[in-house]
Amino acid sequence: MNVAVGVQATNSVGSLLFSANRGSTSKELILAQTSALNCGSKNLFRHNTLHSKSKVDVVQRMKYCPAISASATESSQTMENAEVETENLGILDVDPSLEPYKDHFEYRVKRYVDQTQLIENYEGGLEQFSQGYLKFGFNREEGSIVYREWAPAAQEAQLIGDFNGWDGSNYKMEKNQFGVWSIRIPDSGGKSIIPHNSRVKFRFKHGNGIWVDRIPAWIKYATVDPSRFAAPYDGVYWEPPPEESYQFQHPRPPKPKAPRIYEAHVGMSSSEPRVNSYREFADDVLPRIKANNYNTVQLMAVMEHSYYASFGYHVTNFFAVSSRSGNPEDLKYLIDKAHSLGLRVLMDVVHSHASNNVTDGLNGFDVGQSSQESYFHTGDRGYHKLWDSRLFNYANWEVLRFLLSNVRWWLEEYRFDGFRFDGVTSMLYHHHGINMGFSGNYNEYFSEATDVDAVVYLMLANRLIYNIFPDATVIAEDVSGMPGLCRPVSEGGVGFNYRLAMAIPDKWIDYLKNKKDEEWSMNEIMLSLTNRRYTEKCVAYAESHDQGIVGDKTMAFLLMDQEMYTGMSCLTEASPIVDRGIALHKMIHFITMALGGEGYLNFMGNEFGHPEWIDFPREGNGWNYDMCRRQWNLLDTDHLRYKFLNAFNRAMNLLDEKFSFLSSSKQIVSSTNEEDKVIVFERGDLVFVFNFHPENTYEGYKIGCDLPGKYRVALDSDALDFGGRGRVGHDVDHFTNPEGIPGVPETNFNNRPNSFKVLSPARTCVAYYRVEDYPDETVATTTIVADSLEEETDGAEDVSPVLKKSAPVEKSAAPSLEDIPSTEKIMVSGQPGDSDCNPSTASDFKISVPLLSSTHFPFVRGYLLV
Which residues are tagged catalytic?
A: 422, 477
The amino acid that residue 697 corresponds to is T
For 124-186, give the DSSP string. Answer: SSHHHHT-GGGTSEEEE-SSEEEEEEE-TT-SEEEEEEGGGTT--TT-B-EE-TTSEEEEEEE
Handedness of CA 726, 730, 735, 739 (dihedral sign): positive
Q: Kind and range of the H or E element at 842?
A: strand 841-842
Distance CA 231, CA 590 (A): 46
A 10 A CB-CB count for 118 gives 18
Contact 644, 4 (CB under 8 A): no
Distance CA 413, CA 408 (A): 8
- Beta-bridged to residue 614, according to DSSP, are 549
Distance CA 642, CA 632 (A): 10
What is residue 849's DSSP assignment?
P
Residue 466 — φ and ψ, nearest 5°? -75, -25
Contact 130, 404 (CB under 8 A): yes
Closest by CA position to 476, among listed 529, 430, 536, 402: 536
Class of residue 674 by CB neighbours under 10 A (exposed 0-12, middle 13-18, buried 19+): middle
The amino acid that residue 861 corresponds to is R
Q: Which conformational region is residue 36 in: left (phi greater than 0), alpha (psi within -120 to 50 degrees), or beta? A: alpha
For 189-252, give the DSSP string. Answer: TTB-SS-TTEEEEEEEE-TTS-EEEE--TT-S-EE--TTSTTPPPEEEE----TTTS----SPP
Contact 679, 548 (CB under 8 A): no
Distance CA 81, CA 120 (A): 11
Contact 219, 236 (CB under 8 A): yes
- C-alpha angle with apex 105: 103 to 106, nearest 5 degrees? 65
Contact 788, 708 (CB under 8 A): no
